[in-house]
Amino acid sequence: MQKIGFRYSTLEVAKQLDILGFVQNLTDGSVYIEAEGSEENIKTFIAWCHEGPRWAHVDHVEVEKSAMQNFSIFEIKMS
């Protein structure tokens, strides 16, 4: 089960790193993120996702490459 702050922390980190895309909670209790940015910033963002905000407990991170979606912002999507 996620706490609401995880998505907002993800949004803030994405903005700091000029990452575009979205984050959303899934019905199974996991968090789903699609992200685009420079290779260096994406690597930094993925590293942050493995830790999350200081109060979070991240069990598992799965990373997949996919086609660019050309997002214009980073946003929180509601399930």
User: 37, 34, 36, 12: which is closest to 23 by C-alpha?
Assistant: 34
Task: Name residues whose C-beta falls within 8 Å of residue 7's C-beta, 6 or more positions apart in sequence.
Answer: 23, 24, 25, 31, 76
Per the structure, the count of domains in the chain is 1
CATH number of the domain bearing residue 52: 3.30.70.100
Residue 5: pLDDT band (50, 70, 90) is confident
Q: Which domain holds residue 9?
A: 5-76
The two three-digit tokens of residue 74, written as one number: 């980073």
Q: What is the pLDDT of residue 18?
A: 98
CA distance 23 to 5: 12
Q: For the chain, what is the mean pLDDT?
A: 92
pLDDT at 79 over 80: no
Using CA atoms, how far apart are residues 43 and 1, in angstroms rounded to an integer? 26
To the query of whether residue 54 is one of the catalytic residues in this protein, the response is no
70 catalytic per annotation: no
pTM here is: 0.90
pLDDT tens for 12-47 read: 999 999 999 999 999 988 999 999 999 999 999 999
